[in-house]
Amino acid sequence: MTATLTAESRTARRVTDWLDPKTWIIAVSLITGWTSGRWEGLGWGIVSAVFAAVIPVLLIKRGVTAGRWADRHLGVRSHRLTVMTLILTSVGIGIGAMAVGDAPRAVIALTLAMFATLAALAVVTLRWKISVHTAVAAGATTMLASQLPALAIAGLAVVGAAVGWSRVALRDHTTAQVVAGGLLGTIVAGLIFANLT
């Protein structure tokens, strides 16, 4: 029994770590960039990924190293709010750069959708530890639905469900927090992206 629980816990940790928000953000940014303008669009997708994933990861790593935050998944709710504010600033600067640089509409829409999703998550986080992992996975899958074949989207949905399972299995979130994150990501990112593209 203990070996099974340990194996399950190890699998859940791998899923949580490998499919964390940065992985989804980088993937959706690059795919949206490519589908919206091939090589030039891909360049703008990289810009989006830098401001929405790379800079935030560096900020989080720096905070963990300095002892300001307990871990890279920001398990302490109060730590999340500080980091979310920093990430919103980074993404906002990225949106400004994309607007000035005349980035493809879909890449700007994607980045605005990510900004809005994070802002909504921050509001909920004031009171409750909603799952950012599932919000980002669901939001990315929803935004990719208009860009990829249905079979790919079905596969992404299964992978997103595995992320939700991992968060509950690790006891980082309750089932309600995971489901709420998925719904928030789907609705906010989906509506913003659909209305701006």
Nearest to 164 by CA among 138, 189, 186, 184: 138
| Averaged pLDDT of the chain | 95
So what's the pLDDT on residue 127?
Answer: 94
Q: What is the pLDDT of residue 1?
A: 46
The number of CA neighbours under 13 Å toward the Cβ of 155 is 5
**pLDDT(78) > 90:** no
Q: What is the mean pLDDT of residues 110-134?
A: 98
Give the pLDDT of residue 6: 81
Per-residue pLDDT, averaged over 140-152, amounts to: 97
Amino acid 72: pLDDT: 84
Tell me the pLDDT tens digit for each residue of 18-71.
Answer: 999 999 999 999 999 999 999 999 999 999 999 999 999 999 999 999 999 888
**The pLDDT of residue 191:** 98
Longest CA pairwise span in the chain (Å): 58
pLDDT of residue 54: 98
Please identify which residue in the block is written with the tokens 């690059």.
Answer: 30
- Whether 5 shows a pLDDT value over 70: the answer reads no
Q: What pLDDT band is residue 2 in, cutting at 50, 70 and 90?
A: low
pLDDT at 71: 84
CB 136 within 8 A of CB 167: no
Interacting residues of 185 by C-beta distance below 8 A, sequence separation 6+: 117, 134, 135, 136, 137, 138, 139, 140, 142
pLDDT at 4 (0 to 100): 60
pLDDT exceeds 70 at position 131:
yes
C-alpha 74 chain-centroid distance: 14
Task: Report the distance separating Cα 13 and Cα 189, nearest Å.
Answer: 26
